[in-house]
Amino acid sequence: MNMYATLILALALSMDAFAAAICKGASLHRPHFREAIRTGLIFGLIEACTPLIGWSIGLYASQYVMEWDHWIAFALLFILGCRMITESFKKNQEKKCESPCRHNSIVLITTAIATSLDAMAVGIGLAFLQVNIVHTAMAIGMMTMIMATLGMLIGRYIGPLLGKRAELIGGLTLIAIGFNILFEHLELFMYAK
């Protein structure tokens, strides 16, 4: 696989993380640049690790992983999206600001895992090709880090425009990403038959 194909693959795999990071940035109260970097690092690191995991699984469990990865991603994104929607309807007058200034690490890691399961499936496919998996995984991780950081920064400016609705829209977007992942895999399954 040449450099251009690797970059296109990395960009394609980073788009879910980009959309999720926009939602995360919009739901925060003026997140700092270091929060955007932190989010980008978490998403990038996990996105870089999942193709390596998929590649190492290779032939042994490829059918099992490909059959279930879209359901796991859908479930995680659906739960996180519902959580964000629920939070958007809560009226807590004791808060100093309407939204938190920083996301919980567990929430970020869960979101990153949910958006990177497709990279694991790609890693399984890459096990059958003559590719340098370390370079490919690093390219995927770097692209995802950049895109997630940009997403958080874009979300920072979208959030104040939307106010409390940002969390509602973010939750709906995460659920939509989950449904998109599910439908893409189910559509591929239908064409395979």
- 177 within some domain: no
What are 61's two structure tokens? 């469990």
* Ramachandran quadrant class, 71 (left: phi over 0; alpha: psi -120 to 50; beta: rest): alpha
What are 59's two structure tokens? 């032939």
- 87 within some domain: no
CB of 117 closer than 8 Å to CB of 47: no
pLDDT value at residue 97: 44
- 89 within some domain: no
> CB within 8 A of 68, min separation 6: which ones?
none
For residues 42 and 184, give the distance between their C-alpha atoms in angstroms, rounded to a whole number.
25
- 180 within some domain: no
Q: Tell me if residue 97 falls in helix, strand or coil.
A: coil
For residues 169 and 175, give the distance between their C-alpha atoms in angstroms, rounded to a whole number.
10
Residues of the chain with confidence (pLDDT) below 50: 92-97
- 47 within some domain: yes
Please count the structural domains in the chain: 1
Domain residue limits at 115 = 3-66+104-163
- 73 within some domain: no
CB of 108 closer than 8 Å to CB of 3: no
- 96 within some domain: no
- 90 within some domain: no
pLDDT value at residue 181: 75
- Angle at CA of residue 159, ends 156 and 164, nearest 5°: 145
pLDDT in tens, 24-46: 888 777 778 898 999 999 999 99
pLDDT value at residue 107: 83
DSSP string, 17-34: HHHHHHHHHHTSSS--HH
pLDDT value at residue 149: 94
Q: What is the mean pLDDT of the chain?
A: 79
